[in-house]
Amino acid sequence: MLELDVSPRLLTASFTQGNEGVKANRLDNHIRYNLTTDRNKTMRTRFFAFALLLSLLIASTAHAAGTQLTWYGHAAFKITTPSGKVLMLDPWITNPANKNGAADLAGITKADLILITHGHFDHVGDSVAIANLTGAKLVATGDLADALVAYGGYPKAQAGMDTQGNVGGELSLLGGEVKVLFVPAIHSSAVSPPAGSLNTDPHSGGNPGGFVISIAGGPTIYATGDTDEFSDMSLIGKAHKIDVMLCCIGDHYTMGPVRAADAVKLVGPRYVVPIHYGTFPILTGTPAEFGEALKKNGSKAQMTVMRVDQTLNL
């Protein structure tokens, strides 16, 4: 016969051992839970650290890309936005100052907008060839756009009212990434028909002008076009914080270095790039004279002299 010892001592020992077993199991489960929790926390920490690093790299890459400004000589520029959109400004790529003009023109395979300040040949330049190749839309005053379509050969379908304006008007373009404000210039404007045309007489291109180009996530650029200084330039600087001023200095047909320096002081940009000089012998103004004039009048703008085919990261 099997007999069970149910003495108080054995019952207590058995209960104690069972209780210790429960405690051991609980401790083991607690340790396992903590280890799992720690692993999860570590994984989450590593994930968030990786995500932060990735976002910083993306932001750094976007900042590094920035806005690019390329000068082709005379008054011709290419502006590339942070998203890769391309704006051509007064694109006389094959001007005499650009020894690589033909190759540079052939290399322009993408353009979204072509901005033209006035109708003279040295600013209309190669715009029709670029427009035909890329489908770029024309940004100009209504009068100039009409004249360029009627007499200059610009494709009519790419010169619509959505990209036309007039002094004081501001266009929001390329999904809002670029804004273009039309501002005055003191000059003249006429459109000459292409070479070989039966009618070679020049036609009115309306009033000349300049542009204030504001780029989302980038700089604000003031292109003076061909002009003399005028007192209302100070209003341009008050209404917009100009980062870069593209300023004609050549004299003869535009303001020379001294008057250009006065214009810079009126506008108050951070940087100024001298343009429209040296292309022809009669454009006698020089960056050296311009720099001296800036020092004398106390302008705080930093002059940046670009080389032909040079690109600046803004």
Q: How far apart (Å, rounded) are the C-alpha atoms in residues 263 and 286?
A: 16
C-alpha angle with apex 23: 18 to 27, nearest 5 degrees?
150
Q: How many CA atoms lie within 13 A of 54 on its CB side?
A: 6
The pLDDT value recorded for residue 107 is: 97
The pLDDT value recorded for residue 200 is: 85
Q: How far apart (Å, rounded) are the C-alpha atoms in residues 46 and 64?
A: 26
Closest by CA position to 164, among listed 175, 152, 155, 173: 173
The pLDDT value recorded for residue 199 is: 81
Establish if 49 belongs to a structural domain. no
C-alpha angle with apex 232: 228 to 233, nearest 5 degrees?
65
Establish if 52 belongs to a structural domain. no
Establish if 2 belongs to a structural domain. no
Establish if 74 belongs to a structural domain. yes
Percent of the chain with pLDDT over 70: 79
The pLDDT value recorded for residue 30 is: 53
Beta bridge partners of 210: 183
Mean pLDDT value across residues 22-29: 51
Q: How far apart (Å, rounded) are the C-alpha atoms in residues 124 and 166?
A: 18
Confidence band (pLDDT; 50, 70, 90) for 112? Answer: very high
Mean pLDDT value across residues 211-230: 98
Q: From its phi and psi, is residue 268 left (phi > 0), alpha (psi between -120 and 50) or beta?
A: left
Residue 78's H or E segment, with its range, is strand 77-80
- Asked if residues 171 and 147 have their Cβ atoms less than 8 Å apart, the reply is no
Closest by CA position to 286, among listed 297, 271, 275, 295: 275
Mean of the per-residue pLDDT values of the chain: 87
Establish if 199 belongs to a structural domain. yes
Contacts of 106 by beta carbon, 8 Å cutoff, 6+ apart:
none
Question: How far are the Cα atoms of 15, 75, 120, 143, 280 from residue 192, in angstroms, in the given order?
Answer: 110, 18, 7, 14, 19
Alpha-carbon dihedral 46, 47, 48, 52, rounded to 10 degrees: 100
Confidence band (pLDDT; 50, 70, 90) for 22? Answer: very low
CATH of the domain at 263: 3.60.15.10
Backbone angles phi, psi at 120, to 5 degrees: -65, 150
Establish if 18 belongs to a structural domain. no
The pLDDT value recorded for residue 7 is: 39
Closest by CA position to 114, among listed 187, 211, 46, 192: 211
Residue-wise pLDDT for 36-86, tens only, equals 555 656 556 565 555 555 554 444 444 447 999 999 999 999 999 999 999
The pLDDT value recorded for residue 61 is: 45
Establish if 116 belongs to a structural domain. yes
Q: From its phi and psi, is residue 291 left (phi > 0), alpha (psi between -120 and 50) or beta?
A: alpha
Residue-wise pLDDT for 133-152, tens only, equals 999 999 999 999 999 999 99
The residue assigned the tokens 């001298």 is: 274
Establish if 25 belongs to a structural domain. no
Looking at the structure of the chain, the number of domains it has is: 1
For 199, the domain range is 63-307
Residue-wise pLDDT for 169-219, tens only, equals 999 999 999 999 999 999 999 999 887 787 889 999 999 999 999 999 999
The residue assigned the tokens 């960056």 is: 287
